[in-house]
Structure formats: structure tokens, C-alpha cells
Homo-oligomer: A and B are copies of this chain.
Amino acid sequence: MADNSIRRGMGWATMADVAREAGVSLMTVSRVYKRPESVSPRTRENVLKAGARLGFLPNSVAGNLASGKTNMIGIVVPSLRNSNNATSIQGMADYLRQASYHFMIANTGYSLEDETAVVKAFVQRRPDGIVLTGTRHGQETVDLLKAAGVPVVETWETKGPFLDMATGFRNYEAAREITAHLIERGYRKIGYIDYPAIGLTRYVERLAGLKDELKAAGLPSGQIVSPLEAQDLYQDASSFRGGAVGLQMLQGKYDIDAVLCASDILAVGALFECQRQGIAVPRQMAVAGFGDFEIAAEVHPGLTTIRTNGYQIGWNAAEMLVQRILQPDADIPLRDVGYELVTRGST
């Protein structure tokens, strides 16, 4: 055991090893890898060569402990295989990458208990920031985040109150707008396929927008079905099927000539069901969705929907966190990414 520095370690070369090899102090090595410009070129080259010779890679864990910064973001989403979030996650990933942050991610399956567990596990790893989906959180989660004092962004909504920062779009207004579009197109018997009523405020908002717009037009506003169970939201497959089943439910209960859905996947499911039943879209039945997922433009006929910029939401969330991290007392206002009615052949 001539080399005192490899005792409990895992065989890795450490900065001390590199320092010895290069004939400089440990701190110089640290500087070379952290702020290369703060070291003279000559020394820097020597150290880098010594490091390469030893196969040295800085141990971030040690650095994190010493500096109190982890350069790690925790992302909490309801589901990983729901296309709803994928684009948004990619937006965060892209921003974080260029800002030299990494992220851990975990899903809650729409359960508040699981969300608390996830947040607790994350907080123990001392992330520099946390992204949550939506604004519905258990009290324990809220307390945990408050105690941790970690920057938090909530996504997909613009209606507070928020824990800290937020970015999203106006779900209520968007729902009114697409409903108004259906009415303007001449549809009078409009059904709605909703997500399970588990208190997700973004869907509560959409439903409220639909109802208010229908009422304002003097149309029936109670033609609503909710074919999914909470656990179905976990993956897209159920939502496709939910759209089909939802349409059947509407057909059984009401006389409808248009169906609006809480998400594009539901709407595509309903559209497929129309194809199976031989119902002409949009002549006999209009179909409209929410989200403008990639598939919306590809189905035939194309799906009328509300376009929201999920990628931008993710990008924003990451950017807001990093801004706050770099400038802890910055006041970071809500960012509304907007929405846009996209009319296609289905209405």
C-alpha cells in the first residue's frame, strides 16, 4: 500500500494522484478541471496530461458535497410513456444540457402519495431545482419542498396559486375557444370526453371552459362522459381506447354531432372509432382534441385541436430554474406559452 490515497476508493485516480503526478498541489488540479482559465497555460497542460495518463475523471459526488451544488434537477411527471409529457421533457433536457445540468426523473402515476415519495427521495439528493407537473400536490409534498428551500417550477398551467414559479398555458380560455369553433362550424350537439375527475386542475379548467362556452351559446352542456380510470392515464394505449369507448358512451346516452376530447390521444381514439363505424368525419361527426400532439396532423382527416408548445414549457421550466439558481433572489414571473386553435379536416 505505497499509495495512501487508494484505500477505500474504487480504484479511481483522485485529484491527489494527479497532483502528485504533475508535481503541483491538489488545488491546482481542482482549478484545472473547474476553471481552466484560472490556471497558467503551462501548468494546465501539465496537469491535463497527468490526468489523462492516470485516466482521471473528477468525482462529481465529492464536488457536490464540497460545493453544496449538484447541478442536478429533479423532474416529476405523472407518466413516462404518455406522449403528453415526452415533448416537454425533451425541452427540459435540451435546455439543461447546454447549461451543463443533468436531471433525474420519476413518475407518480397520478398518485399524490407517490408524488410525495418521489419528491422526498429527490430532496435527499439535494437537487438544485425541481420541476413538477400541474398544481395539484399533497400537503406533505408542499411542506417538504418548502423546508428544502429548493427552487420549484410547476408546469402546464397558468392559474395559481403556485408554490414558486410556473409556466404553462390558459387551459380554460383554450377550451372556450375550441368550443366556440365547433359552435361556429354549426355543430349544436357537442359531447365531451373527459379525463377522470381526479382533481387535475388543467382538466378541471378545460371542462369549465367547455361548459361556460356552451351555456353562453344556449346549448346543452351536460353531455359529458369520462371513460377512463385514474390508472389508465398511465399510458397512451388506454387513452386511444378511452376515446373509442367514450364515443360509444356518448352515442348511447345522447344525440351528438360533435365530440371534443380532453386530449388529442382521446380524440384520435374517437376518430378511429368513427372509421370503424363508417361514420363520415366531419360530415356526420366532428372530432376535436387538445394538445396538437404529433399524430394530430398525421391522421386522416387531420385533427382540429388546440396547439400548445409543450417543448417550450419544458424549456422554460428548465430556464427558469437555472436563472433562479444563478440568482437566488431573482423574481421570476409566470411564463404563458400561449395556445393556438388549429383547424383541420376533422371539424
Which residues of chain A have a CB within 8 Å of any CB of chain B?
8-11, 55, 57-62, 64-65, 68, 70, 72, 79-81, 83, 86-87, 89-90, 93, 97, 102-107, 120-126, 147-149, 235-237, 240-241, 244, 268-269, 272, 275-276, 294-295, 297-300
Contacts and interface: CB of A to CB of B under 8 A. Distances in A.
Contact of A80 (B60, B79, B89, B120): B89
A300 B148 CA distance: 50
B126 A61 contact: yes
Contact of A60 (B87, B89, B93, B125): B125
**Which of A9, A62, A124, A276 has the most chain B CB within a 10 Å cutoff?**
A124
Nearest to A80: B90
A311 to B, nearest CB: 8
Contacts of A90: 79-81, 107, 235
A70 B93 CA distance: 22
A295 B298 contact: no
Given A61-B61, A105-B103, A105-B105, A93 B80 contact: yes
A105 B65 CA distance: 22
**Which of A81, A107, A123 has the most chain B CB within a 10 Å cutoff?**
A81
17 contacts: A57-B120, A61-B65, A61-B126, A72-B104, A80-B86, A81-B86, A81-B87, A81-B89, A81-B90, A83-B83, A83-B236, A90-B107, A93-B106, A240-B298, A241-B298, A269-B298, A272-B298
B102 A103 contact: no
Contacts of A297: 237
Nearest to A73: B104
Interface of A is mostly: helix
Contact of A8 (B68, B93, B126, B268): B68
B102 A121 contact: yes
B61 A147 contact: no
Nearest to A310: B81
Contact of A59 (B55, B79, B126, B235): B126
B10 A149 contact: yes
B68 A9 contact: yes
Contacts of A124: 57-60
Contact of A235 (B72, B102, B294): B294
Contact of A57 (B64, B123, B300): B123
Contacts of A272: 298-300
A190 to B, nearest CB: 24
A321 to B, nearest CB: 16
A60 B74 CA distance: 14
Contacts of A275: 300
A11 B150 CA distance: 12
A147 B55 contact: yes
A63 to B, nearest CB: 9
A275 B300 CA distance: 7
Contacts of A241: 298
A81 B92 CA distance: 12
